[in-house]
Amino acid sequence: MRVLVVNAGSSSVKLRVVGDGSTLEGACDLERHGDDGLGAALDAFLDAAPPVEAAGHRVVHGGADYRAPLLVDADADAHLVALADLAPLHNPPGLAAIHALRAHRPGLPQVACFDTTFHDTIPDDASTFALPARWRVAWGIRRYGFHGMSHAWASRRAAALLGRPLEGLRLVTAHLGAGASLAAVAEGRSVDTTMGFTPLDGLVMATRPGALDPGAVLWAMRHGGLSADEVERELEHGAGLAGLAPSSGGDLRRILASADGGDADARLAYGVYLHRLRGAVAQMVAAMGGIDGLVFTGGAGEGSARLRSDACAGLGFLGVPSVPAGPGPAAGGAGAGPPEGGAGDRVLSAAGAAVAVLVVAAREDLEIDRQVREVLGAAACAIGGRPVGPVEAAASGNNWGPPGVGTSEPPGSSERRVGT
Looking at the annotation, which residues are catalytic? 115
* Max intra-chain CA distance, the chain: 68
CA-angle at 403, arms to 370 and 152, nearest 5°: 45
Alpha-helical (H) ranges within 124-263 are: 124-127, 133, 148-162, 214-224, 228-237, 240-244, 252-260
Task: Tell me how far apart the alpha carbons of residues 398 and 141 are, in angstroms, rounded to a whole number.
Answer: 28
Task: Tell me how far apart the alpha carbons of residues 9 and 5 are, in angstroms, rounded to a whole number.
Answer: 13
DSSP SS3 for 190: strand
Contacts of 92 (CB under 8 A, 6+ apart): 84
Q: Are 92 and 381 in contact (CB under 8 A)?
A: no
E strand map for 132-225: 170-176, 180-186, 189-193
Contacts of 215 (CB under 8 A, 6+ apart): none
Contacts of 349 (CB under 8 A, 6+ apart): 321, 323, 355, 356, 357, 358
Q: Are 61 and 367 in contact (CB under 8 A)?
A: no
Alpha-carbon distance values, 102 to 57, 277, 339 (Å): 12, 41, 34
Task: Tell me how far apart the alpha carbons of residues 158 and 206 are, in angstroms, rounded to a whole number.
Answer: 26
Q: Are 399 and 73 in contact (CB under 8 A)?
A: yes
Contacts of 314 (CB under 8 A, 6+ apart): 274, 278
Q: Are 182 and 203 in contact (CB under 8 A)?
A: yes
Task: Tell me how far apart the alpha carbons of residues 335 and 81 are, in angstroms, rounded to a whole number.
Answer: 44
